[in-house]
Amino acid sequence: MESAVFLQGMGLGASLIIAIGTQNAFLLRQGLLGNYVLSCTLICIACDVLLIAAGVAGMGGLISAQPALLLWIKVAGAVFLLVYGARAALAAWRPGTLQAGAAAPASHGAVVAAAFAFSLLNPHVYLDTVILLGSIGGQQAGAGRFYFAAGAMLASAIWFTGLGYGARFLAPLFARPFAWRVLDGVIALVMWTIAWSLFH
């Protein structure tokens, strides 16, 4: 029984985490650049673990019962995504920013702040991780909710670690400026599409 609930949590968690989103796009780019990958990976995992735990503990019901709070979360998230999408579009447009080593990497503090922003300012994180996972996990009987949450947390840890450190295997492809142009263009489209979808 416990193993079935654990696998259910792991499967649902993986299906929500693996979908292309802002957090994944950010971590993939950091992994390709080799820029503070450990910090970014740990932040993504830690935020996901905390949000899953909060959702299973009942935070999902609290958020869904406060439409005004959810609206402000959406507005803040949309503004952030639009701005970052514009930065990615500019990087795709300007040849001087295409090479991984063409410019000095951002400071550790700036990268850490961005990792937290992508992990916590995207409203879909609350809609999927907190509300959806939380509502399903919270329905499990007895200790089942803990097994469900543990499965979802493990899926998150495996995915983000694989994405952050597996990106290096794509490095030969991204030695070509065109590949960076395509990646930044896709990131811009993902950011803008998610920002648009928040209100439609």
pLDDT tens digits, 46-83? 999 999 988 888 776 666 677 776 677 677 767 777 88
Residue 1 banded pLDDT, cuts 50, 70, 90: low
Token pair, residue 96, equals 């001087």
Q: Which two tokens stand for residue 56?
A: 């299973």
Q: Do the Cβ atoms of 47 and 112 come closer than 8 Å? A: no
8 Å CB contact between 74 and 143: no
Single pTM value for the model: 0.73
Rounded Cα gap, residues 6 and 2, in angstroms: 6
Pick the closest to residue 4 from 157, 143, 159 (CA basis). 143
Residue written as tokens 């994944």?
Answer: 24
d(CA 155, CA 122): 19
pLDDT value for 60: 64
Q: Fill in the DSSP letter of residue 162.
A: H
